[in-house]
Structure 1
Amino acid sequence: MIVVTGATGNVGRALVTQLTADQVPVRALTRDPTRAGLPAGAEVVRFASVAEPAAMAAQFAGATALFLHVAAGGEHTAELLAAAREAGVRHVVVLSSIILDDDGAAEHPIHVMHARLEQQVRDSGLGWTFLRPGAFSTNSLQWVPQFRAGDTVRWPFLQSVTSPIHEADIAAVAAVALRDPEKHAGAVLSLTGPTAVTAEEQILAVGRALGRDLTVVEIPAHEVTADMFPHVPPGVLPALLESFGAAVDSEPDLTTTVADVTGGPGRTFEQWAQDHADDFRGA
């Protein structure tokens, strides 16, 4: 049995879908099972916090591996890991961040958060595999309101270059590590998409997936509003914009980890746009 936290998130949902498709027993933890909408083959269970010690222990019963999202345990990650280990879990695959590959970013809020998570896992006594993905292709869903409002998309640092990764590729690597923990024990896997693209190229790729001719307008950083980045905590936004500026006309490192681990090619951003076209169309 594999337990998946953050099961209704982008990566968690893809992971549950892939595991159930392969008929791997999976227990999906979520705050509201009635609204999860997960595959019928998954055992969907309400996530129990440290305030419910018996229920927390029960959600790991019979499991040998755990997929851990940074938000799952929060300030009580150590207790969650202890409960998992006590129940019989032996290996944890952690969704971390590629920012930890950059020692120069040690003060960045995202670096601090994930470094703490990784250290708690190291201290837990469990076997572990760390997944460090770079920019998520799903971050592009922040453009949904603008796409639904019309054919003009306003954005800062249009020539900022990233190598966004499809959530299904992160999930595919996680699935391999969860199913073969001995081979991947102690591995730190940095994950990127297969190609580098600018923010403008991503916007236009979504437009092509929708069959729409877009106008893309670059705006200065001081015109950015928090609602343009709904997935980003307000305190993190200034650092994020700074990183976008630093990435203009850059050449980001590309990894082959997805192909190396899964045996299949990584999905391009163009494919991600096609897979998510309906999300931009709306009702």
Structure 2
Amino acid sequence: MRALTRSPRTAAFPEGVRVVAGDLMQPESFGETLRGVDRMYLFPAAETAWEVVALARQAGVSRIVVLSSGAVTTGFDSDFHLPVEQAVEASGLEWTHVRPGEFAMNKLALWGPSIRAEGVVRDPNPDAAGCPVHEQDIADVAALALLEDGHCGRAYTLNDPEMLSHRRQVELIAEAVGRPIRFEVVSRDEARESYRKQGGFAAANADFLLGFEDYSGGQSDLQALQEFDPTATGSVPTAEEATRVPARTFAQWAHDHAREFLPD
């Protein structure tokens, strides 16, 4: 197994994984590292997707599994993840698209600092509901698609099996850590300012996650986002479609990461 990274000196992988330097935004930087690779798990970089896929095919890669997004399934994403899917499908190689919805890990990045420091979450949408997916479900489906037959030509959309409001998500985190967490309703502007002060993931993604901009970086249709109901057509799709075992819940995710919400 080879892991391509822009930062090989700081990368941490299990024993037996060969770490190689490269950048999807600079395809010429890793062409030779694809020699001998049979199957590829591809992180989305729309700008270079066609070139990267062409290099993979030339190197002898036979199967590509794309880390895509549930926003492709719902139609909100047409030029970020979708072009990567299209490039892979047009290659003639075997393909599978893994389309997670909201990553549950986002909650650790967004809410973790204030929970650890103050025991509070400041959010503008207490009743907004979502189905944050456990990262292990994403990994399980990706691994199956890479290693097993029977998944080619499929697009798996992954979610938590239950719709949960932001307030309920905070309650489940509080139950997992064993201490109360206060939910403070703030404006979108106040939440954005708070995330920008946090830095890192929260600052980089504040505008998108709070509905100020869409996948393209343009102004988002906030009303459409607020009115969107992923359960309108029935139960939400989960990893169970691929794994044949029940998807992990947000409550389980909160339990798995409880220590990371505790004060340093």
Q: What interval of TM-score do these two structures reach, taking the shorter chain for normalisation?
A: 0.7 to 0.9
Shift of 1:50: 6.7
Q: Write 1 or 2 for the structure with the bigger share of helix.
A: 1
Report matched runs for 1:1-283 at 5 Å: 26-48=1-23, 51=26, 53=28, 56-71=30-45, 74-103=46-75, 105=76, 110-141=77-108, 142-180=110-148, 182-228=149-195, 229-232=202-205, 234=207, 237-239=211-213, 242=222, 245-246=226-227, 251=231, 254-281=235-262, 283=264
In 1: Cα distance, 2:24 partner to 2:213 partner? 31
Q: Deviations over 1:80-111 (max 9, x none)?
A: 111111111011111111122224x3xxxx44
Give the partner amino acid of 2:93: L
How much has 1:223 moved relative to structure 2? Answer: 2.7
Distance 1:223 1:52 in 2: 40
Query: Partners of 2:145 and 2:231 in 1: how far apart?
Result: 29
Summarize the Cα distance change of 1:50–1:205 in structure 2 as closer, same or farther, 3 Å threshold.
closer
Indicate how the Cα distance of structure 1 residues 271 and 231 shifts in structure 2: closer, same or farther if over 3 A, else same: farther
Identify which range, 233-242 or 186-195, moves more after superposition: 233-242
**Distance between the aligned counterparts of 1:134 and 1:52, measured in 2?**
28
Query: Per-residue deviation at 1:273?
Result: 1.0
> CA offsets per residue over residues 179-199 of structure 1, 9 Å max, x none?
12x411211111111222111
Question: Structure 1 residues 170 and 216 mapped into 2: Cα distance closer, same or farther (>3 Å)?
Answer: same
More displaced 10-residue stretch of structure 1: 230-239 or 206-215: 230-239
Q: Distance in 2 between matches of 1:239 and 1:246?
A: 16
CA–CA separation in structure 2 for the residues paired with 1:65 and 1:282: 41
**Kindly, what percent of the aligned residue pairs are identical?**
33
Superposition deviation, residue 113 in structure 1: 0.9
Using the TM superposition, give the Cα deviation of residue 41 of structure 1 relative to its aligned residue in structure 2, in angstroms. Answer: 2.8
- Structure 1 range deviating more: 57-66 or 39-48: 39-48
**Equivalent pair of 1:91/1:128 in contact (CA under 8 Å):** yes
Most deviating of 111-120 and 255-264? 255-264
Cα deviation for residue 42 of structure 1 reads 1.6
Distance in 1 of aligned mates of 2:260 and 2:53: 35
Say whether the 8 Å CA contact 2:21–2:30 is kept in structure 1.
no
Q: Is the 8 A contact 1:157 1:245 kept in 2?
A: no
C-alpha separation in 2, matches of 1:139 and 1:79: 30
Say if 1:65 and 1:91, in contact at 8 Å, map to a contact too. Answer: yes
Task: Give the alignment's Cα RMSD to 1 decimal.
Answer: 2.5
The aligned length equals: 248
